[in-house]
Every structure is written in C-alpha cells, then in structure tokens.
Amino acid sequence: MTTVRLNSADPVSFATDALIVGFRSGSETPLPVTSADALDAAFGGKLAASLTAAGFAGKPGEIAKVPTFGAITAPLLVAVGLGDKTDAETLRRAAGAAARSLAGTARAAVALPAESVGDAEAVALGALLGAYGFSRYRTGGDGKAPVAELDVLSPLDGEEAGRITARATALAESVSLVRDLVNTPPSDLWPAKFAEIAEQAAAEAGLAVEVLDEKQLKDGGYGGLIGVGQGSANPPRLVRLSYTHPEAAKTLAFVGKGITFDSGGLSLKPSASMDWMKSDMGGAAAVFGALLGIARLGVPVNAVGYLCLAENLPSGTAQRPSDVIHSYSGKTVEVLDTDAEGRLVLMDGIARAAEDSPDLIVDVATLTGAQIVALGWRTAGVMANDDAARELVVEAAAAAGEGAWGMPLPEELRKGLDSPIADIANLQPERWGSMLAAGIFLKEFVPDGVRWAHIDMAGPAFNKGEPYGYTPKGGTGAITRTLIGLAERHASI
C-alpha cells in the first residue's frame, strides 16, 4: 500500500517526482491556494495564465499536468481543481483525483491546504484512497502501479503529524480491504473463503472470532442463511467478530449482508443485472473493514460485527418461491421471491446481534435496486426505528464524506408484507416504495427496546462508471468509514 507522511518542506524546492497543487476557480484565471506567491514567482508570474490557456479552470476534480522545465525542483506540476470550496471532503476528493492521476509515479508531494489537523488528515486520506489499485488478475502489467510514496506538505510535525498519518493510514487500509474483497470474483470468494480471510485478519488485529458452518447454522435455527445458501455447492457461514476495549461504556453491533454472488436464485436475475453481483457482499465487507479499523485505531467502544455469508444460486436444492422458512428469531417467512434474499440472511444476523445487548444495531446491505432508483448511485438510504439513531448515522456519513439520506418507514407499507400462511412475506407485491418495505421487513426482527438503523447502499458499494475523486471504478469501500465514525461518536457519548 502507498505510504504517506507529513513534511514541512517548501514545495518549490522539494525533491519529488510530481508536485500536486490545488487551484480554486477564479473569475478570470484559476487561483493557487498553497504557496501561491512562491509558485507563481517560480513560473515567472505566468502559471495561472498558462493553465488557463490549456483549458484548466479549477473546477472540482479537474486535472492538468504541466512540465516544470526546472522552474521548481519537481519535474511535473499537477494542478487539481477545488472549485470554490476548501472543506474536508473537497480536499479529500481533490487529493484523491490527483493521486489517482499519478499511477506509475514513484513519489509525489501534495500542496493542498493542510494547516489544521482536520485538513491535513483529509488530504492524507484522500490521497491514499485515490492511490488505490487492484491488479491481482493482470498478467502483463501496464506500468501503472499506484504512486508509492506521498508527502503531504504541512507545517504540522512531531507527534501530531504521526497521529494524523497513522489515522489516515488505518482508515485507508480498511477501505482498501473492502474494495479488494468486492472486486474479487466469486470464483475466489465464496462464503467459507470469506470466513477464512476474516479469521486470519481478526487474529492479526486482536479480534475475537467465531464461525458457524452450515451444520451449526441448521442446528441453531438460522433458517434465513440456510434457505438462501441451500442452492449452492458453497454452503453459508455466519462470522462473528468482536472487539472489546477496557474503557468502553457503549456497545455497537454491525450486521452485514454477505451474498458472495447473487444470481437471484430460482427467481433468476436478467444477465445484464448479474455481472456485478460479486459486489453483493459489500455490506459484510464494510462491517469487516470497520471492525479492523476500530481495532487499529483503538476506539474505546465495544464493537461486534456479524458477516452473514451465503451464495444465492439456482439448483435442484435451491429454495423455491412459496417456501416457508423459520428464522432465528422464531418468526416464519414466506419466500415470494428468492431474489429478495439479502433480507433473509440479515433477519438472522439482526436477531442474533440483539443478544449482545448493544446500544445500537446497524445493518449494512446492498439490499434493493429501489435504492438506486430513489437516490442514485452515490447516496445510501438510511432507515431506523429511532429518529435520533437515523440522524446519527446520516451525520456520521456526512462527516466521512459518504452520501447518505434519511428515509421513513411508513406504517401503511407493512400490510403489503402480509402472508396468508406465515408471519410475514419477504416481498410486497407492488414495486412502489420497495426500498422502504425492505426496511420495514427488517424492523420486524428487531426486538422491542433495541435501537436499530438500516443502511441500503446498493448503488454506492460499486461504481460502474468512471473513477471520480478518490473513488475508483468497481468496489468503493462505501460506508466503512461511516461505521468507524459511528464507533468514535459512541466512544465520546
């Protein structure tokens, strides 16, 4: 992984392969935001004019590369646009876009506003996230490895600088792990393999881990996990990760949907909707990454994570539409659509997590296509049985720069989940409000008195379009930092 450090050097004379400089959009020419006078003087007062002539306007995420011809020590200047803002998320995205553009470069320096602790961390984290690359399956190589070393130019030094880089590195490592898992093809990541990876990483991070196999799940009454996974030759798993801190006063439980591949089961998806279903384990990956991040940062909370892992495939043993399954909570569920499988594994995970007596349960899932219809590809929907809990999750997401929007759980939609033969059906017959109906379904498995929130991140977990800011194409690592932020907020309550 790329290494980052803070450095108080002068950007004009600093020896590096490329110097990243931020520019605001101006009325006539883009305006440099860091070391403006010194840089402009080094270029004979013509830097902004040269960038304007090249079509660079300083718009957010805009990149222009300028050979320096010895005007400064770095041979290449990378101008990155900030628009008219310099808030933390703008800095993260700018640093990420610039670092991503320097793939194949050994070392770069980042001259963005980094005078305060918050800004310095934003720049360091954004650059690390932007420097991500996934090349495990490339045999020829293209010479475009992520930039290896990053120097964030900042006046902060000593222990303070060390804390900033350590935190940024811990967050980036968690997100990168999640991205790697989401990007891994299902032929190399089935439930037992995911559980094996979690066991190994948990041991290294000092987390306690417990894995239930298919026999233990069946004996334990986890009907949702067994039902979803029974059509695959790769049986389901439930992984429980736990982190404890001696000073903790609060306990959080995270539950992640981990469908390592979702064909839709017998309710088969169209082929065009299936090629990116390796990402349907993004919720479990985010929970896994968050637990590791919480442990690395030593957050003074107790945190438990449940990875609900199954592969949803059609076969002669697959569950059928109209089957009735017995959930871990004891409630029965009529399966009307086998492609509404995520809620079936989550209902078992939520009911089990409640036994840990947490102060808050948060489930994370790539749950519904309706989330994408309602909120698009970059904004997760947040629902809860407690208004304050919902707003807490939304605020934590906003602080992390991850899009999330609070949504209601309208009582009138519950009737659409009625079943004539079971306690509840897994799908309402109408498509309208189906993201909310999925949340209402999950709410049924939360015991009375337990605070719970649900994050539907079907779109944000996987970027099918072009990279932007610090977000790559493919797995994004979405919501990982939100969960870590929630833990940190509970530690301070």
Of 375, 376, 363, the C-alpha closest to 486 is 363
Q: Is residue 451 flagged as an active site residue? A: no
**Residues forming beta bridges with residue 387, ordered by sequence position:** none
Cα 257 to Cα 241: distance, rounded to the nearest angstrom: 14
* Of 24, 269, 443, 451, catalytic: 269
Q: Is the distance from CB of 335 to CB of 283 less than 8 angstroms? A: no
The closest alpha carbon to 261, from 222, 197, 313, 225, belongs to 313
* Pair type for strands 332-334 and 324-326: antiparallel
Q: How many CB atoms lie within 10 A of CB 191?
A: 30
Instruction: Please count the other Cβ atoms lying within 10 Å of the Cβ belonging to residue 398.
Output: 15
CA distance 325 to 23: 58
Is 269 annotated as catalytic?
A: yes
Count the Cβ atoms, other than its own, within 10 Å of residue 220: 15
- Cα of first residue to Cα of last residue in the chain, in angstroms, is 34
* Half-sphere exposure of residue 11: CA atoms within 13 angstroms, side-chain side: 32
Q: Which of 278, 227, 221, 289 is nearest to 254 (CA)?
A: 289
Active-site residue, selected from the candidate residues 343, 352, 378, 481? 343
Question: Contact, 321 vs 213, CB < 8 A?
Answer: no
Catalytic (active-site) positions: 269, 343
